Homo-oligomer: A and B are copies of this chain.
């Protein structure tokens, strides 16, 4: 086929998939390219804009490394991540809702035991966390794997500190026989997503603020249950209604009250104010 024009090119592309033996790939590529072409035709994309797009995508890929995932950040800020979560994680009544994974998870969180201080030096007011993990029918889930990560009082994750090698405010833990997990961390604060890359440029150019309301990330896995990727958001945060990644669920907003110096939930005596957080996670059963 020669002399393909703006009206015939989409059908020409689809025809090239005749030999595709993977029906799902064929379906996804057909829909993707049809929407991509429709987009370009709808806005009458110019050649300069096309080149800007190429340069933007290239810069986004080159911003990614072991500590930074700029394409996840892009997907998050365009609402694609939350849309994908919403489509796939329709939660059974009573089970904890999911939200976005975000770009700051690492695969090397240190293992911690019950009662540990997982902040490991990250700055912030102490937060005493006491959570339980149970199944839909209320059965406590013993030995559930809980992956936790969060930003510090400066609004930064450990991986955002240039030169910092150790992991802070990040842990891999297991629930006890009663499905319970207690640990010390720091109270999360609201923070802007990283704006020093291509995604930050788009946010600025489009007049959007880059803030996420304060939250702690949880990834919880238990045998026979669907993995839960979620956050707990801090009640009262000014960005709860304008989260830059569209991730807030009312059911995930929890109190993290501040207490005057004194005896903490773990029996220790605190010379500084501290916060507490209690929550019950409910995992949906598989199959």
- Interface on A for B, CB 8 Å cutoff? 1-6, 9-10, 12-13, 16-22, 25-29, 31-33, 35-47, 49-50, 54, 57-62, 64, 69, 71-72, 75, 78-88, 202, 205-208, 240-242, 246, 248-250, 253
Q: Knowing A6-B83, A33-B78 touch, does A25 contact B206 (C-beta < 8 A)?
A: yes
Are B35 and A86 in contact, CB atoms less than 8 angstroms apart?
Answer: no
Contacts of A85 in B (CB 8 A): 47
Are B69 and A58 in contact, CB atoms less than 8 angstroms apart?
Answer: yes
The interface residues of chain A, by DSSP majority, are classed as: helix
Contacts of A26 in B (CB 8 A): 206
Question: Which of B40, B46, B61, B83 meets A57, CB within 8 Å?
Answer: B61
Q: How far is it, in angstroms, between the C-alpha of A193 and the C-alpha of B165 when the chains are bound? A: 41
Copies per complex? 2
Contacts of A253 in B (CB 8 A): 2
Question: Which of B9, B17, B241, B248 meets A82, CB within 8 Å?
Answer: B9
Question: Which of B12, B22, B54 meets A246, CB within 8 Å?
Answer: B12
Question: Which of B83, B242, B249 meets A40, CB within 8 Å?
Answer: B83
Are B79 and A25 in contact, CB atoms less than 8 angstroms apart?
Answer: no
Are B35 and A35 in contact, CB atoms less than 8 angstroms apart?
Answer: yes
Contacts of A33 in B (CB 8 A): 78-79
- Shortest CB–CB separation between residue A6 and chain B, in angstroms? 4
- Shortest CB–CB separation between residue A161 and chain B, in angstroms? 23
Please name the residue on chain B nearest to A52 by beta carbon.
B28
Contacts of A49 in B (CB 8 A): 28
Are A78 and B47 in contact, CB atoms less than 8 angstroms apart?
Answer: no
- Shortest CB–CB separation between residue A212 and chain B, in angstroms? 13
